[in-house]
């Protein structure tokens, strides 16, 4: 099968074609003679170049293409080198434009051979596989073009199957570094890579233009089963871009020509001429009116005239008033329109002038400065030519106008500040009122209403501004008073726990995350720790023991007889720790299904209860001499056990979910159980502890570093937290002894209830 070339391009036209313009040209051979010579391609970026230079460069690319396909190879030189020498002799005029920067790359892909010539600093990199990773080489890193030379040398190499040749205009590297290109081609095919690059560059909406080409000869594994060449992208972008640039060049020339201010002068001259003509007409009309009055009032026969006075009827006073009002409205509207028009034109002229002053477009900065100086000089001359009294009145007018505007602005600012202070004081008062009502609700036992009011007060507090030290202090004081009520509402106690064991002193690499008790000892363990640790509460000693051949220790439970500990291992097996042997041994257990996953354990009256979220089931197993029997499904109705994380049994079964929901089950059926108001709400709790000898339910939640205590009706009893805790992961409750043990990052703490 002949080699198949995979070729894709990307092209993004910028918003400022004069600043940056990209030409992208690819010729796909059609005839057998052209196919023998391969693909011709060119990529050029012109910065700050006029349209004449861009047209010359486009013509050069067209000449190089036609010359290459029409020229035969010669001994020692191929057609590309011969044509390139010819272009070099004729292409000096392309580089003669001042302030223009040209970056150009031309080349030929002939079978697997690649020939490249460049000017400036275009991007050309080869990406290839090296063992298990992709390496890249900048193939133009050593290329340098002498001043005044269009193309100085030709680079020649081979593009092997699987290798990728990436060509891009210089500004592309500002947004796509070689490392980023490497990651893109690792995670996408060639077409998706080109489309991704084009979309990102297009979304920039930049003034710059971008372009690039990607070549690749696929390996046998990558070749499409149809054997067809990949679809080509239409390369008409360069011609359309060039036509658009021509139109834009004309508009830009008109927009930025220094005659802009000359046009303003012309309009002013026309305005002056119209005023003079109007004044002349007014003078003629005045002379005619006076002459008419003279003829009417003169003695009869002294002056001959055909004008005779006639009686006129007077219009009603209402018509006169309406006509006067209409004239006033027309006059005011026309005046406002003229004022708006003058302001708009003046603003536009000054804006254009500022843009030219800042950017020096067309080297017109000095012209703008000269015009402004002349304008200022003209105003000074006119002011100096005014009579003294006029200058004094003008100055007083400016001062009074400034005072008036300043007074209006000051009034607005003060009114705004007064309104803002009123809003701020109302918020502070609302917080105080809601807190007072919440405290009263707590006294009368209405915790739900108190929680609602406190939430509203907290929301208002969060919106209080702190734009000065006084307000910052007031907000902090309000936050402290709210915290006091929150603690009453939350029944939160910040304890100072006692550190009784630190496993890192025994084993610096300890990874204990779970805690279980047996008799007067605590057992800590973790699935990633090959040791378990026996912590004696009586003599405060730590005994590290290694277990082998059992598997990873996960969930654990101790019966009320305190004679053993049952562990779940390897997701669907169990092991038992005997206090007599102080060792962990595997035990047998069977299930109705093969794909069981043990998520949590509980034991009651020697019966083992197992939570299996994979099959949405809870199993009940009886003890045997070698472990536990096959067991049976305990649920009598279908329940959604997703996100369930822990369970405990005291006759009833309590199931905890990571969402903070607690489900109560009796004899396999769901019971009504409403969790009381807990603030903040439970967030990803991990452990639930209770038993037949315990009055309450204890929940461990690492997110807020707390132990939550509720009674068996769901009512909140207390919450405990400690500043020493970071990520508590295990808990044992001794309700009779009124103490709780918490495991946190290989440290065991104790605090009293």
CATH, domain 498-752, list 1.20.1560.10, 3.50.50.60, 2.120.10.30, 3.40.50.720? 2.120.10.30
Q: Facing residues of 12 across strands?
A: 210
At 55, list the tokens. Answer: 């047209």
End-to-end CA, the chain:
81
At 540, list the tokens. Answer: 């405060």
Q: At what angle do helices 388-443 and 469-490 cross, to 10 degrees?
A: 20
- Distance in angstroms (rounded) separating the CA atoms of residues 700 and 722: 13
At 414, list the tokens. Answer: 């003060």
What per-residue confidence (pLDDT) applies to 612? 94
Contacts of 465 (CB under 8 A, 6+ apart): 424, 471
The dihedral over CA atoms of 322, 325, 331, 332, expressed in degrees to the nearest 10, equals -150
If one counts every other C-beta atom within 10 angstroms of the C-beta of residue 106, the result is 28
CB 717 within 8 A of CB 465: no
CB 85 within 8 A of CB 128: no
Radius of gyration of the chain measured on its C-alpha atoms: 45
At 83, list the tokens. Answer: 């044509």
**Cis peptide, bond prior to residue 680, ω within 30 of zero:** yes
CA 116 to chain CA mean position, Å: 40
738 torsion bin: left (phi>0), alpha (psi -120 to 50), beta (else): left
89-138 pLDDT, tens digit per residue, is: 877 778 888 888 899 999 999 888 999 999 888 999 999 888 778 888 89
What per-residue confidence (pLDDT) applies to 353? 84
Strands of 113-119's sheet in order across: 20-27, 39-47, 101-110, 113-119, 155-158
- Distance in angstroms (rounded) separating the CA atoms of residues 37 and 67: 12
**DSSP 3-state assignment of 429?**
helix
What per-residue confidence (pLDDT) applies to 284? 46
At 195, list the tokens. Answer: 């489309």
Q: At what angle do helices 447-462 and 469-490 cross, to 10 degrees?
A: 160
- Distance in angstroms (rounded) separating the CA atoms of residues 47 and 519: 83
Residue ranges for the chain with pLDDT beneath 50: 1, 226-265, 284, 287-288, 291-292, 294-312
If one counts every other C-beta atom within 10 angstroms of the C-beta of residue 347, the result is 10
- Distance in angstroms (rounded) separating the CA atoms of residues 743 and 726: 10
Q: What are phi and psi of 301, to 5 degrees?
A: 95, -15
Find where tokens 């036509």 sit: 243
Residue 205 CA: distances (Å) to CA of 12, 103, 181, 201, 455: 9, 22, 21, 8, 44
If one counts every other C-beta atom within 10 angstroms of the C-beta of residue 222, the result is 14
The ranges assigned to domains in the chain are 6-252, 402-490, 498-752
Sign of CA dihedral 257, 258, 260, 265: negative
What per-residue confidence (pLDDT) applies to 232? 40
Q: At what angle do helices 447-462 and 388-443 cross, to 10 degrees?
A: 160
**DSSP 3-state assignment of 307?**
coil
What per-residue confidence (pLDDT) applies to 220? 73
If one counts every other C-beta atom within 10 angstroms of the C-beta of residue 529, the result is 23
**DSSP 3-state assignment of 204?**
coil
Sequence length of the chain is 753
Q: Facing residues of 63 across strands?
A: none
- Distance in angstroms (rounded) separating the CA atoms of residues 455 and 441: 14
CA 719 to chain CA mean position, Å: 38
Q: What are phi and psi of 661, to 5 degrees?
A: -80, 140
- Identify the DSSP state of 77: B
| Class of domain 6-252 as given by CATH | alpha beta
- Distance in angstroms (rounded) separating the CA atoms of residues 54 and 18: 10
CB 113 within 8 A of CB 155: no
183-228 pLDDT, tens digit per residue, is: 898 888 989 999 999 999 998 888 899 999 999 988 877 665 544 4
What per-residue confidence (pLDDT) applies to 15? 86
- Characterize 463-484 residue by residue with b for buried, 16 or more Cβ atoms within 10 angstroms of its Cβ, and e for exposed: ebeeeeeeeeeebeebeeebee
Q: Facing residues of 119 across strands?
A: 104
If one counts every other C-beta atom within 10 angstroms of the C-beta of residue 660, the result is 19
Q: Facing residues of 716 across strands?
A: 710
Three-state SS for 376-425 is HHHHHHHHHHCCHHHHHHHHHHHHHHHHHHHHHHHHHHHHHHHHHHHHHH
Q: Facing residues of 113 across strands?
A: 110, 158
- Characterize 603-614 residue by residue with b for buried, 16 or more Cβ atoms within 10 angstroms of its Cβ, and e for exposed: bbeebbbbbbbe
The DSSP element (H or E) to which 359 belongs, if any, is helix 317-359
């Amino acid at each position: 099968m002949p080699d198949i070339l995979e070729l894709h391009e990307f092209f993004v036209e910028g918003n400022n074609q004069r600043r940056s313009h990209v030409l992208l040209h690819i010729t796909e051979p059609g005839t057998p003679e052209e196919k023998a010579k391969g693909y011709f391609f060119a990529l050029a970026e012109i910065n700050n170049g006029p349209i004449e230079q861009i047209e010359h460069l486009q013509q050069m690319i067209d000449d190089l293409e036609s010359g290459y396909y029409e020229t035969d190879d010669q001994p020692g030189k191929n057609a590309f080198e011969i044509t390139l020498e010819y272009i070099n002799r004729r292409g000096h005029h392309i580089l003669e434009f001042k302030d223009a920067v040209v970056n150009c790359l031309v080349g030929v892909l002939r079978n697997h051979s690649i020939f490249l010539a460049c000017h400036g600093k275009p991007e050309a990199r080869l990406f290839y596989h090296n063992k298990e990773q992709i390496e890249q080489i900048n193939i133009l890193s050593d290329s340098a073009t002498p001043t005044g030379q269009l193309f100085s040398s030709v680079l020649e190499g081979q593009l092997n199957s699987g290798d990728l040749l990436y060509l891009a205009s210089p500004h592309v590297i500002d947004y796509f570094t070689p490392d980023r290109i490497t990651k893109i081609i690792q995670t996408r095919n060639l077409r998706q890579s080109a489309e991704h690059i084009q979309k990102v560059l297009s979304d920039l909406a930049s003034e710059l233009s971008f372009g690039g080409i990607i070549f690749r000869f696929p390996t046998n594994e990558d070749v499409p089963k149809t054997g067809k060449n990949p679809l080509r992208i239409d390369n008409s972008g360069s011609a359309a871009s060039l036509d658009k640039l021509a139109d834009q060049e004309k508009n830009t020339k008109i927009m930025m020509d220094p005659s802009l201010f000359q046009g303003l002068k012309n309009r002013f001259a026309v305005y002056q001429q119209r005023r003079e003509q109007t004044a002349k007409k007014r003078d003629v009309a005045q002379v005619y009116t006076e002459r008419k009055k003279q003829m009417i009032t003169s003695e009869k026969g002294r002056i001959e005239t055909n004008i005779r006075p006639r009686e006129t009827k007077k219009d009603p006073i209402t018509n006169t008033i309406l006509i006067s009002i209409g004239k006033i409205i027309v006059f005011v509207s026309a005046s406002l329109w003229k004022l708006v028009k003058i302001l708009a034109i003046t603003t536009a002229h000054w804006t254009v002038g500022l843009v030219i002053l800042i950017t020096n477009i067309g080297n017109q900065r000095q012209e703008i400065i000269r015009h402004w100086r002349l304008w200022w000089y003209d105003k000074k001359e006119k002011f100096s030519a005014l009579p003294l009294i006029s200058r004094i009145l003008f100055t007083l007018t400016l001062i009074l106008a400034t005072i008036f505007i300043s007074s209006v602005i000051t009034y607005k600012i003060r009114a705004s500040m007064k309104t803002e202070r009123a809003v701020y004081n109302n918020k502070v008062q609302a917080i105080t009122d809601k807190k007072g009502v919440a405290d009263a609700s707590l006294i009368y036992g209405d915790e739900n209403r108190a929680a609602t009011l406190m939430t509203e007060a907290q929301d208002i507090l969060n919106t209080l501004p702190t734009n000065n030290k006084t307000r910052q202090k007031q907000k902090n004081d309000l936050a402290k008073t709210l915290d006091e009520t929150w603690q009453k509402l939350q029944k939160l106690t910040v304890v100072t726990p006692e550190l009784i064991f630190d496993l890192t002193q025994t084993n610096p690499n300890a990874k204990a995350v779970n805690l279980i008790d047996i008799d007067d000892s605590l057992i800590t363990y973790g699935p990633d720790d090959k040791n378990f640790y026996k912590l004696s509460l009586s003599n405060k000693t730590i005994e590290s023991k290694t277990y082998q051949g059992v598997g990873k220790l996960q969930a654990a439970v101790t019966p009320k007889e305190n004679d053993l500990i049952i562990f779940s291992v390897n997701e669907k097996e169990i092991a038992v720790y005997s206090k007599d042997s102080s060792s962990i041994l595997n035990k047998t257990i069977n299930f109705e299904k093969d794909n069981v996953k043990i998520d949590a354990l509980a034991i009651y009256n020697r019966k083992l209860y197992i939570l299996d979220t994979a099959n949405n089931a809870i199993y009940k197993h009886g003890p045997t001499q070698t472990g536990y029997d096959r067991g049976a499904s305990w649920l009598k109705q279908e329940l959604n056990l997703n996100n369930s994380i822990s369970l405990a049994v005291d006759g009833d079964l309590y199931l905890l979910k990571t969402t903070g929901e607690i489900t109560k089950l009796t004899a396999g059926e769901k019971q009504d159980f409403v969790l009381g108001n807990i603030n903040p709400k439970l967030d990803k709790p991990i452990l639930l502890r209770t038993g037949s000898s315990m009055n309450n339910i204890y929940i461990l939640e690492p997110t807020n570093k707390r132990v939550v205590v509720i009674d068996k009706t769901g009512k909140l009893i207390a919450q405990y937290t400690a500043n020493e805790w970071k990520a508590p992961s295990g808990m044992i409750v001794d309700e009779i002894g009124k103490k709780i043990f918490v495991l946190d990052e290989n440290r065991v703490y104790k605090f009293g209830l």
